[in-house]
Amino acid sequence: MALFDQLHPDWQKTLTEYRPLVTKIDSLINKNDVTPGYESIFAAYQLPPSEIKVAIFGQDPYPTPGYAHGLAFSVSSSTQPLPASLRNIFKELESDCGVKAGSNGDLHRWTNQGVFLLNQVLTTKPKKSLAHEDFGWQEFTQATARVVGESGAIGIFWGSKVQKFAQYFDPALSISSPHPSPLSAYRGFFGSAPFSRTNAMLRAQGKSEINW
């Protein structure tokens, strides 16, 4: 199935003007040498816009073969050891909310509650970070961020590259911090309390909290 056609139908309708861009990116991707796997590139977009309560934006997929599976920061349930960024996310979650890390790193348990997990760049070559940085993904994911922000969702922006997406979100519903990677987590990610702050915002909106 062509890449654009893998989007949820609601996203196809919402982002229809970007079909030519996705078609161009599709032509640049080697289906046998890409991570996440070709059929998982749009995994995040299986959550339709109308169901998004919270959006967490990251920068680019894990380059380690077998790690990325289309949801930012998430890995499949069988992936061990967990990536360092995800370990730091779980460390902050425990510090913030007292929630022990899950038994695995598959964050579908969050998306099932309306959490949209999107990287700014959606693909790369295995073992090479940012290999597809120049493919045009940023235009597509920025358009996505605009749609999500205008819907009134809460935005969480981890890393300086994605903090420009915050322009589309209500400042009162935005949480920005350094990226959770080991290189930057101690510069302000730890202690940023994104999970409890998000649930406080949801309560204020009269919405159900996320069971992190």
- Cα 154–159–161 angle (5° rounding)? 100
Active-site residue identified among 10, 60, 106, 170: 60
- Domain 4-204 classified CATH 3.40.470.10? yes
- Laid out side by side, the sheet with 174-177 consists of 115-119, 54-58, 154-158, 174-177
The string of pLDDT tens digits covering residues 6-30 is 999 999 999 999 999 999 999 999 9
Hey, where are the domains in the chain?
A: 4-204
Handedness of CA 31, 45, 132, 24 (dihedral sign): positive
Query: Helices 19-28 and 137-150 sit at what angle, rounded to 10 degrees?
Result: 140
Q: Is 13 exposed, middle or buried (0-12, 13-18, 19+ CB in 10 A)?
A: exposed
% of the chain at pLDDT higher than 90 = 98
Handedness of CA 178, 86, 83, 58 (dihedral sign): negative
* pLDDT number for residue 44: 98
* pLDDT range class, residue 36, cuts 50, 70, 90: very high
Whether residue 164 is predicted with pLDDT greater than 90 in this model: the reply is yes
pTM for this prediction: 0.97
The string of pLDDT tens digits covering residues 76-132 is 999 999 999 999 999 999 999 999 987 899 999 999 999 999 999 999 999 999 999
Average pLDDT score, the chain: 97
* pLDDT range class, residue 194, cuts 50, 70, 90: very high
Whether residue 205 is predicted with pLDDT greater than 90 in this model: the reply is yes
- Name the token pair of 137: 């993904």
The half-sphere exposure of 63 on its side-chain side, counting CA atoms within 13 A, is 11
Active site residue 10: no
* pLDDT number for residue 102: 78
